[in-house]
Structure 1
Amino acid sequence: MTEPQAVLAPLSRSAVFLVVTVHPDQASRTRVREFCADLPGLVRTVGFRDLDAGLSCVVGFGARVWPDLFGITAPTALHPFPAIRGHRHDAIATPGDVLFHVRARRQDLCFELSTQILAALRGAVTAVDEVQAFRYFDNRDLLGFVDGTENPTGEAATSAAIVGEDDPVFAGSSYVMVQKYLHDLDAWDALDVGAQERVIGRTKLSNVELDDDVAPASAHKVLTTITDADGRERKIVRDNMPFGSPAAGEFGTYFIGYAADPDVLEQMLRNMFLGDPPGTYDRILDFSRAVTGSLFLAPSVPLLDQLADSPPSTSLTIGSLKGRTLP
Structure 2
Amino acid sequence: MAAPQPVPQLLLGPPAKAALFLTLTVAPGREDDVRDGLGELSGLSRSVAFRARDDALACVAGLSSDAWDRLVGGPRPRGLHPFTPLHGPRHHAPATPGDLLLHLRARRADLCFELARLVLDRLGDAVAVVDEVHGFTYFDERDLLGFVDGSENPTGSAAADAVLVAGEDPGFRGGSYVVVQKYLHDLTAWHALPTEEQERVIGRAKADNLELPDDVKPPDSHVALNTVEDENGEQLQIVRQNMPFGRLGAGEFGTYFIGYARTPDITERMLRNMFLGDPPGTTDRILDFSTAVTGGLFFVPSATLLDDLPAPGTAPAAEDAPEPPPADAERPGDSLGIGSLKGAPAP
Same fold flag (TM > 0.5): yes
Structure 2 residue aligned with 1:315: 315
Structure 1 residue aligned with 2:343: none
Contact 2:162 2:262 (C-alpha < 8 Å) held by counterparts: yes
Deviation at 1:77, TM superposition (A): 1.0
Structure 1 residue aligned with 2:257: 255
Q: 1:94 aligns with which of 93, 96, 99?
A: 96
CA distance in structure 2 between the aligned counterparts of 1:305 and 1:52, rounded to whole angstroms: 24
Structure 2 residue aligned with 1:33: 35
Query: SS of the counterpart of 1:186?
Result: helix
Deviation at 1:306, TM superposition (A): 3.0
Query: SS of the counterpart of 1:306?
Result: coil
Structure 2 residue aligned with 1:325: none
Structure 2 residue 128 is matched with structure 1 residue 132: no
Structure 1 residue aligned with 2:10: 6
CA distance in structure 1 between the aligned counterparts of 2:57 and 2:131, rounded to whole angstroms: 21
Query: SS of the counterpart of 1:312?
Result: coil
Structure 1 residue aligned with 2:22: 18
Contact 2:182 2:293 (C-alpha < 8 Å) held by counterparts: yes
Q: TM-score, normalised by structure 1?
A: 0.94
Deviation at 1:73, TM superposition (A): 3.1
Structure 2 residue aligned with 1:197: 199
Contact 1:236 1:265 (C-alpha < 8 Å) held by counterparts: yes
Structure 2 residue aligned with 1:72: 74
Q: 1:275 aligns with which of 266, 277, 296?
A: 277
Structure 2 residue aligned with 1:109: 111
Deviation at 1:155, TM superposition (A): 1.2
CA distance in structure 2 between the aligned counterparts of 1:43 and 1:261, rounded to whole angstroms: 26
Contact 2:18 2:109 (C-alpha < 8 Å) held by counterparts: yes
CA distance in structure 1 between the aligned counterparts of 2:306 and 2:121, rounded to whole angstroms: 21
Structure 1 residue aligned with 2:330: none
Structure 2 residue aligned with 1:221: 223
CA distance in structure 2 between the aligned counterparts of 1:73 and 1:182, rounded to whole angstroms: 37
Deviation at 1:206, TM superposition (A): 0.2
Contact 1:67 1:73 (C-alpha < 8 Å) held by counterparts: no
Code of the residue aligned with 1:5 in structure 2: it is Q
Contact 2:40 2:307 (C-alpha < 8 Å) held by counterparts: no
Structure 1 residue aligned with 2:337: none
CA distance in structure 1 between the aligned counterparts of 2:304 and 2:42, rounded to whole angstroms: 12
Structure 2 residue 66 is matched with structure 1 residue 60: no
CA gap 1:95/1:194 in 2 versus in 1, 3 angstroms: same
Give the total of aligned pairs: 316
CA distance in structure 1 between the aligned counterparts of 2:107 and 2:319, rounded to whole angstroms: 38
Code of the residue aligned with 1:83 in structure 2: it is P
Give deviations 1:74-99, integer Å, cap 9, x for gaps. Answer: 22210000110011000000011000
Deviation at 1:121, TM superposition (A): 1.1
Give deviations 1:224-280, integer Å, cap 9, x for gaps. Answer: 001011111000000000000112100000000000010001000000001111111
Code of the residue aligned with 2:8 in structure 1: it is P
Contact 1:169 1:317 (C-alpha < 8 Å) held by counterparts: no
CA distance in structure 2 between the aligned counterparts of 1:73 and 1:84, rounded to whole angstroms: 28
CA distance in structure 2 between the aligned counterparts of 1:303 and 1:150, rounded to whole angstroms: 30
Structure 1 residue aligned with 2:86: 84
The 5 Å alignment of 1:178-197 reads: 178-197=180-199
Structure 1 residue aligned with 2:161: 159
Query: SS of the counterpart of 2:61?
Result: strand
Q: 1:212 aligns with which of 214, 220, 223?
A: 214
CA distance in structure 2 between the aligned counterparts of 1:226 and 1:252, rounded to whole angstroms: 25
| Structure 1 stretches lacking a partner, 5+ long | 321-327
Give deviations 1:175-209, integer Å, cap 9, x for gaps. Answer: 00000000000000000000000000000000000
Contact 1:71 1:311 (C-alpha < 8 Å) held by counterparts: yes
Q: TM-score, normalised by structure 2?
A: 0.89
Q: 2:239 aligns with which of 237, 253, 257?
A: 237
Code of the residue aligned with 1:304 in structure 2: it is L
Structure 2 residue aligned with 1:288: 290
Code of the residue aligned with 1:47 in structure 2: it is A
CA distance in structure 1 between the aligned counterparts of 2:89 and 2:319, rounded to whole angstroms: 49
Moved over 4 A (4+): 316-320
Q: 2:48 aligns with which of 37, 46, 49?
A: 46
Contact 2:74 2:317 (C-alpha < 8 Å) held by counterparts: no
Contact 1:162 1:171 (C-alpha < 8 Å) held by counterparts: yes
Q: 1:264 aligns with which of 266, 291, 305?
A: 266
CA distance in structure 2 between the aligned counterparts of 1:29 and 1:74, rounded to whole angstroms: 17
Identity %: 57
Code of the residue aligned with 2:262 in structure 1: it is A
RMSD over aligned Cα atoms: 1.3
